[in-house]
Amino acid sequence: MQQLARRDAAPLAAAALEHELERHRTAVAVLERLAGQLQVLDTFRPALAAKGVKVSYGQVSTTGTFEKAVYLTEPMFDGDWGMRLKAALLELGWKLVECRDGGSYEAVQLTTTVERRRCTVRFNANKPKAATGAGAA
């Protein structure tokens, strides 16, 4: 609390810079903790790409505390990416740990082990939109 009060009292430019530096340090620490898991995930990227599913660095989330799992975010304008990723990883031998119904999406967690190194991924998979409106069968 004292840090927030001190930051609020600081000039805006200094407070904003301090805030962003803190976020950066936190993000780097998360990536360092996940490095081994990201290396395992990297070994699957060519096979995923062959199945039409791209996983890029911009999808690795460092928001929050993802110490035990890699949290992947869905690419913009690719509504079925999560379902395709789930299917592809299952085809590649990953094990489903959790698939929780979130209404319009599923909260998915899968895991695999390669050469005694484990990787667990979490992501949301949008469910297909039901046909609605005039002309829907």
Residue with tokens 């409106």: 133
Cα dist. 46→58, 79, 81, 88, 132 in Å?
17, 21, 16, 12, 37
Q: Summarize pLDDT for 1-16 with one digit per residue, the tens.
A: 566 666 678 899 999 9
Q: Which of 90, 92, 99, 94 is nearest to 111 (CA)?
A: 94
C-alpha triplet 109, 30, 24: angle, nearest 5°: 135
Domains annotated for the chain, with CATH where assigned, are: 35-126 (3.30.460)
Q: Summarize pLDDT for 78-93 with one digit per residue, the tens.
A: 789 999 999 999 999 9
Q: How confident is the model at residue 57 (pLDDT cuts 50, 70, 90)?
A: very high
